A and B are shown apart, each in its own frame.
Chain A
C-alpha cells in the first residue's frame, strides 16, 4: 500500500468519526449552520480525495451523500430519516475502507445502488419548507469549496421566501455569530479534517489555529523516543551509582542536573503517549442514538471530563468495556418512557459518562438514572447458580451482592434482547479491566439508578513491580496482584500441606494453592531444600488467591514495560520484559497466566479434597461452622455461625437503658441488647464485641466478652443444660464448650414464647431431610436436630427436596415447613406420596398457624404429624415416635 493511500485511510476514518458525531449534534440542533457546513466539508473532502486516488465506488457514494447534504445547506429542514440515511452511508463507507485496508488498496466490488437511489430520492423530494426557510444569510458564508453544487447553493439561497420578520431576525442573529469562525476557513479542503481531528469536540474553535498547534507524528517515532529515554534513565542510574562511590567527584553537580533533566524528559515523553479519554467515547453518542431508536427509549448521553488524559494503549483497551457498559445501561438500566413517567421521572433517561484523575489513577464513571439493580433478584440468582448459599445471601450487604453481576454467565435480565441479557458481558468487562490492572465496582439504588466506577492506572508503560528471585533468575511480579509475603517454617503458624501432589498453604483458615515459580517456569524445583523455610508471595487475580514460592525477594521498583518479540508472545506466563538498573533484562510474570496454572492445579486439588471430604461427610454429617467466643469466666461458648448475621463492635456509650432492658442504635433503628450471661462485663466505656442476630424484620444484639475463633467441626451436642440460655455442651477441638441457645435470646429480646427443649440425652441416629425456605429457621433447627444425633440434609424449597428424595431413598424422615414459597408443604407431601410412592416415609409438618382445618388438610395430603413452629420439644418427640432408624427397627 502506498503512503498516499495509507494517509488517506487514516485521515478518512478520522473524518468519518467526526462526521458521525456532528450528524448527531445536527439532529438535535438542526438550525446550526456551523455543524452542517462542517459535515458537508468532511463528506466533500472524502469525495474529492476518492476521485483523486481513483476509488470510484467510494466517490459515487460520497457524492450522493453530499448532494443530500447540500439540500440541507439550502435550508431544507433536517429530518431524522435523512440523518439516518447519511449515517448508513457513512457506515457503508467505513466498511469499504476497511476492505481497502485489508486488500492493500483494492476497492472491493459491489454496488451501492440501494443507498445511492435512496439518497437521491431523498434529495429530490421537493418540500414546501425548502422554499420557505431558505436562509437569507447563507450567501454571506464562504462556500468552502468551489464545486458545481456549491455554486448552485449560492443561486438558490438568493430566492426570496415568505419568512416572518422575527424568524428572519432570529436567523440573522444566529448566523451572524456562528458564521464568524467560518470566515477563516481552512485554506484547502484537505486540511480541514486534520484540524478537526485534534479537537473533535471543539467546533467553535478557530480551525486554522488548531492546525498550527498539532502535528501528526508516527507512533513508531514516539516509541523509539520512549526507548531512548529509558536507556538514558538507565545510563543516568549507572552514573549516579559510580558517583556515589567516588565521594569527591567534581561530576557531582552536572550529574545532578543531568538527572533532573532526564527525569523531566521522561515525563514529557510519557505525556506524548497520553490521549484524552474522549477519543474512546467518540463512538458512544452514535451507539446510544441507535440503541434509543431500537429500544424505543429516550436517552441522553452526558459526557464530563472527556479531556482527561490516559495512555494511548489503555485507551484502546477500555474502549470495548466502556461500549459494553453504556449499552448495558441503555438496555437494562433505563426504563421505558412509560415506566419512567409512572415513577415520576422525566421520560428522557440520562447516561452520564465522567472521567477524572485521582491519585495516579483514572476514574471513569458510567451512571444511569434508571431502575437500579434488584438486590433480591441478584441474590436469588446467585443462590440458583450455586454461587452462594441462601444463608450467605441473606447476610450479604447490597454491595457484596452487586458484585455477583461480574460473575461469568450471570444475567438477571428477564428476557434476552438483541442488545444484552445473555449473561456474557460484565464478566468480560471485569476481565478486560483487571487485565490492565484496573478495578470495576458498582453502586446502585433501587429506582434511582446504577453507577459503575472503573479505576485504571494512568499508564501501562510503567508499573510498580516486586523483584523476586527463583533458581538464580530474577523476575518481576506486578505489585497490583501481590497481596502479602509469607515465610513458612516448620514451626510457624502457617503451614504447608500436601494433598496427594498438590501443595497448599493454610493461611488464616484459608487454603491456598501453591506454585513453585522455578518449576512452573520450567527451570527447576527446590521444594523443601530451603532450610530457612519457604518464602511465599501471596497473589490475587480476580477472586482467585494463590501462593508463589520464590527463593528471595529483593525490592520493589517502578519498571518500564517492554514488549517481547512477537515470537515470544505465546508464552502465557510472561507478559513482557523490563531492563533493571544494572542493565540486565528480566521477565515480567503475568499474574493471569499464573492464576490459570494455579486454577488448573487447584481443580485437581479440589477433586482430591472433595473425595476425601465426601468420605468425611458420609462418615459424619454433623460438621458445622461455629463461632467461638468468651462470655464470662468459665470456658468457651459457641454459636452456630449460620445464625449470626454480623459481628459488630458495640460502643458502650451507645447502650441505653429503657426500664430494665438495654437497647442500642443499630443502622438507624433501636435493637434490643442482651448480655450472654450475668458474668459478661457491662462496660461503661470502650468497645465490646456484639453478635447480631436477625430474623426477618427483627434484629437483636448479644454482647460477649471476646470473639475467639471460627471453626468448622463435628460436634455432638449433649442437651443437658442447667441454664435456659445454654442449649447444651459439646467437646469442640478438645475443649468443653457450651453452645448458646440463640432462640432463647431471641425470645427474651422480643418476649415471644416458645418452648426450649430441655435435655433428653443423646438420641438414635437417623437421616432427616429438613425443608424450609427461611434461612434463619433452618439454621435454628439444624443444630438442635444434629445435636440430637440426626444427620440432617437441608433443602431450601420443596422442589429441591423432591429431587433429593427421588435421588436417594435412604432418608428416615422429612421435616417440612408448610408455608413454603413455590410449591407449598401440602403440595410437597402429596407429591411425595403419589409420585415418589414413599407411603411410609414420615413427614412432619412445621406450621406457624395450625388451625384444625389446615391440620386436617395436611393429614389428608400425607403429613404424618403436625408440630408448631417453635415447639422444638414437640418436634423431637414426634421424630422419636416416627423416625425410627431402619436398623433399630429391624433390631426391635
Chain B
C-alpha cells in the first residue's frame, strides 16, 4: 500500500479504490463495485454488438460481457496483454477490459476534487472526480455510468 494511503488508514470517511490503468491514465474503481480481477481468455466476439463491447466469455459457467475501456474512452486499441475487472450489475456479469491492475488505495476526501472544467466530455461522463496523488492524478470511474452507456446496437453490415 502506498504512503499516501497509509496516512489516512482507519479513517471512516476514506474510500478504498482498486486502481487500474487504461492508456497510461490511472483510474480508481470503488472497491465495493469490483467482484474480482482476472485474465481474460478466449473472448467470443458478439456480432453486430456496439463497438465498445469486446465480446463475451465463460467465467466459471457464467457468461460475462466484456467492455473495452480503451474503446469506450476513445483511445486507440492497445497491444498489451490485458486484464479484466469483474463487475456485477442487476444480476448480470460484466467485466471492464483494462491494460493493468495496480494497488488498492485508501484515499482521503481531502485529496478529492471534482472534474476539471476543461476535461473532455468523452471522459467527464464516466469520471466522478479526481484524487490528487503524490506522483499523479487518479480519475474516479463512475461504474454505473459506464455500464449504463454501453449497449446500443450496431446496424447490420
Contacts and interface: CB of A to CB of B under 8 A. Distances in A.
A568 B153 CA distance: 8
Contacts of B151: 566-568, 570
Contact of B56 (A473, A519, A573, A577): A577
B80 interface: no
Given A519-B157, A568-B53, A573 B58 contact: no
Nearest to B50: A567
B77 interface: no
Given A220-B91, A577-B56, A571 B46 contact: yes
B14 interface: no
B85 interface: no
Interface in A211-238: 220, 227-228, 230-231, 234
Interface in A810-865: none
Contact of A585 (B49, B57, B92): B57
Contacts of B27: none
Interface stretch (A83-91, A197-205, A520-528, A619-627): A520-528
A584 B92 contact: no
B46 A564 contact: yes
Interface string A582-593: 011111000000
B48 A574 contact: yes
Q: SS class of chain A's interface: helix, strand, loop or mixed?
A: mixed
Interface string A779-814: 000000000000000000000000000000000000
A377 B78 CA distance: 68
A220 to B, nearest CB: 7
Contacts of B62: 227
Interface in B30-65: 42, 44-49, 53, 56-58, 60-63, 65
Contact of A567 (B45, B47, B150): B150
B81 interface: no
Contacts of B92: 565-566
Contacts of B153: 570-571
Interface string A560-580: 001111111011011001010
B63 A577 contact: yes
Contacts of B53: 567-568
A597 interface: yes
Contacts of A574: 46-48
Contact of B61 (A220, A234, A519, A563): A234
B150 A231 contact: no
Nearest to B45: A473
Contacts of A570: 151-153
B42 A568 contact: no
A480 to B, nearest CB: 21
Contacts, number: 84
A584 B44 contact: yes
A276 B84 CA distance: 43
B46 A579 contact: no
A760 to B, nearest CB: 59
A573 B156 contact: yes
B94 interface: yes
Contact of A571 (B49, B57, B90, B94): B49
Nearest to A589: B47
Nearest to A578: B63
B44 A522 contact: no
Given A520-B156, A522-B157, A566-B92, A571 B61 contact: no
Contact of A231 (B45, B49, B61, B157): B61
Contacts of A568: 46, 49, 53, 56, 65, 151
Nearest to B148: A567
Given A234-B61, A568-B53, A585 B44 contact: yes
A220 B94 CA distance: 18
Contact of B65 (A234, A567, A579, A584): A567
Nearest to B151: A567
B154 interface: yes
Given A522-B48, A571-B48, A579 B61 contact: yes
Nearest to B55: A585
B58 A583 contact: yes
A634 B93 CA distance: 74
A519 B47 CA distance: 10
B65 A587 contact: no
A234 B45 CA distance: 21
Contact of B44 (A231, A521, A587): A587
A473 B56 CA distance: 13
Interface in A518-576: 519-523, 562-568, 570-571, 573-574
A521 B48 contact: yes
Given A522-B48, A570-B153, A564 B58 contact: no
Given A227-B62, A564-B63, A585 B56 contact: yes
A579 B42 CA distance: 12
A621 B62 CA distance: 62
Contacts of A565: 56, 63, 65, 92-94
Contacts of B154: 522
A796 B44 CA distance: 58
A296 B63 CA distance: 54
A570 B152 CA distance: 7
Contacts of A220: 91
Contacts of A230: 61
A567 B56 CA distance: 12
Contacts of B61: 227-228, 230-231, 234, 579
Contacts of A585: 42, 44, 56-58, 63
14 contacts: A227-B62, A520-B156, A521-B47, A523-B47, A562-B63, A564-B56, A565-B65, A566-B151, A567-B150, A567-B151, A568-B53, A570-B151, A571-B48, A577-B44
Interface of A: 220, 227-228, 230-231, 234, 473, 519-523, 562-568, 570-571, 573-574, 577, 579, 583-587, 597
Given A520-B157, A522-B48, A577-B56, 4 more contacts: A571-B46, A571-B47, A574-B46, A585-B44
- 9 closest Cβ pairs, A-B complex: A231-B61, A567-B151, A521-B47, A522-B157, A570-B153, A565-B65, A585-B44, A565-B92, A585-B58
